[in-house]
Amino acid sequence: MKIWMKYIIGALLGAAIALVVPVDDSSLQGTIAFLSLLAIRIGRYALVPLVLFSLPVAIFELNEDKEFWKVLGRTLIIIVLSVAAFSFIGVMAAALFKPTRIPLLSEAAASVAAPGFKELLLAIFPPSLFSVLSASGDFLLPVYFLAVLLGFTFSFDKTATRPVLALFDSLSRIFYQINSFFSEFLGVLVIAVTAFTVLQLRMAVKSDVYRSLLILVGGEVLAVTFIVIPAILYFTCGRKHPYRWLYAFAAPAFAALVSGDVYFPLGSLTKHAKESLGIRRRANSVVLPLSLIFGRAGTALVTSTAFIAVLFSYSSMGISLGSLFWILAAAPLLTLLLGASPGRGAITALTALCAFYGKGFENGYLIIVPIALPLIAMGAFLDTLWAGCLSIMVSQDAGQMQEKEARYYI
């Protein structure tokens, strides 16, 4: 059975469970919430060691071929351009198809803490280097940074580092196999994750005031998925059929959609990139984590649209051209700080954007909180799908991809 079929079956079972659970049964809801959290942690279980042991080997191999800076540079350029472009799509769509004005909340709503630049910088450089190894898995950048240092160190004295390099290579392959097991098992984990997500949706505000915003964001996600991304792949990857590449990443993208967490399907994304599309470890290990740390283009699109909806709700005078340019500059910048929020992307970015904008809008994000979950989920879906496509563009340009026929996809 294809992996995406397992995920679909698991999601249908989870949705069925959520639909029969009484909304007022707090004990059962707590159990489902616990099982969902446990499932996400299991899905991430092998992620940190996989990055820590695979990335140094990948950097060493790319350095040997004098390809590392080319791969890294192309990845960073595409990340910056895509986050800016997706933000532009979100702003323009919201400005053209104005969502229905959302009534301002008079009662208190749950607050969401946005990550600060200083806190993120301190997380990259903890008091001890060994503290990175005990990371919770919510922020991969400290692990990524340590792995990059190790990768460059392996090239310093090849005679001295050869035994350690061989050990890292072996551990990389071991944890890849462990990760493969969890990727296959993810179909079972998706049951609990989907049950929690659907249950949260049932408990969310059912007011029609959110309908137009959800339809607008859903339309943007569909248009980007089936028109914008295929067009980008077609013109940047030798005018080849792009939809089969999207099919290759259907399973991890779907796992991100039902969980709203971009690290939950990262192991599955790595497995599909290697075994379905033939992307080599040396490209996958560099591109995929970096893309989901800094390149949250889907979340940038959702956040930009939601922020425009907040502005429309607070003011009936419309949005000035200066405000539009400010959003186009600030939204991509703040999205780059989401590496520490793998499961709360859109609402965290919106919180930071409102605080940064000021002018009485600091708490504007509160009117979006009731529908935060579907917005986060749609952003995570695009983030994951785009990370896979970015890996295709970089690896194909660097000659690190050996294509397979679609019937051999896992």
CA–CA distance, 184 with 410 (Å, rounded to integer): 10
In this structure, the number of other CB atoms found within 10 A of the CB of residue 22 comes to 8
pLDDT band (50, 70, 90) for residue 317: low
What's the residue count for the chain? Answer: 410
Tokens, residue 379 = 């952003």
Percentage of the chain lying above the pLDDT 70 cut: 92
Q: ∠47-49-52 over CA atoms, to 5°?
A: 110
pLDDT band (50, 70, 90) for residue 287: very high
CA–CA distance, 245 with 22 (Å, rounded to integer): 40
Query: Quick one: how far is CA 182 from the chain centroid?
Result: 18
Asked if 91 contacts 331 with a C-beta cutoff of 8 angstroms, the reply is yes
pLDDT band (50, 70, 90) for residue 50: very high
Q: Each residue of 289-299: pLDDT tens digit?
A: 999 988 899 99
Q: Each residue of 155-183: pLDDT tens digit?
A: 877 888 889 999 999 999 999 999 888 88
Domain boundaries, the chain: 3-408
Q: Is the pLDDT of residue 137 over 80?
A: no
Specify the amino acid at residue 155: S
Q: ∠306-308-313 over CA atoms, to 5°?
A: 95
Which class is domain 3-408? mainly alpha
Asked if 272 contacts 399 with a C-beta cutoff of 8 angstroms, the reply is no
Q: Is the pLDDT of residue 108 over 50?
A: no
For residue 239, the surrounding DSSP H or E stretch is: none
pLDDT of residue 20: 86
What is the rounded average pLDDT of the residues 114-124? 64
Percentage of the chain lying above the pLDDT 90 cut: 39
pLDDT band (50, 70, 90) for residue 141: confident
CA–CA distance, 303 with 357 (Å, rounded to integer): 13
CA distances to 65, 88, 132, 153, 393 from 59, in Å: 10, 33, 19, 10, 18
In the chain, what is the straight-line distance between the N-terminal and C-terminal CA atoms, in Å?
Answer: 8
Q: Is the pLDDT of residue 114 over 70?
A: no
* Of 321 and 55, the one with more pLDDT: 55
Specify the amino acid at residue 141: L
Q: Each residue of 384-404: pLDDT tens digit?
A: 999 999 999 999 888 888 888
Asked if 393 contacts 283 with a C-beta cutoff of 8 angstroms, the reply is no
Helix spans in 44-130 (H): 47-64, 68-96, 117-124
Instruction: Name, in order, each residue with C-beta under 8 angstroms of 340's C-beta and a sequence gap of 6 or more.
Output: 115, 119, 120, 123, 138, 139, 141
What is the rounded average pLDDT of the residues 325-332? 86
pLDDT of residue 82: 93
CA–CA distance, 252 with 3 (Å, rounded to integer): 9
Asked if 263 contacts 358 with a C-beta cutoff of 8 angstroms, the reply is no
* Of 30 and 9, the one with more pLDDT: 9
Q: Each residue of 224-277: pLDDT tens digit?
A: 999 999 999 999 887 778 898 999 999 999 999 999 899 999 989 999 999 998
* Of 256 and 345, the one with more pLDDT: 256
Asked if 396 contacts 403 with a C-beta cutoff of 8 angstroms, the reply is no
Instruction: Name, in order, each residue with C-beta under 8 angstroms of 222's C-beta and a sequence gap of 6 or more.
Output: none
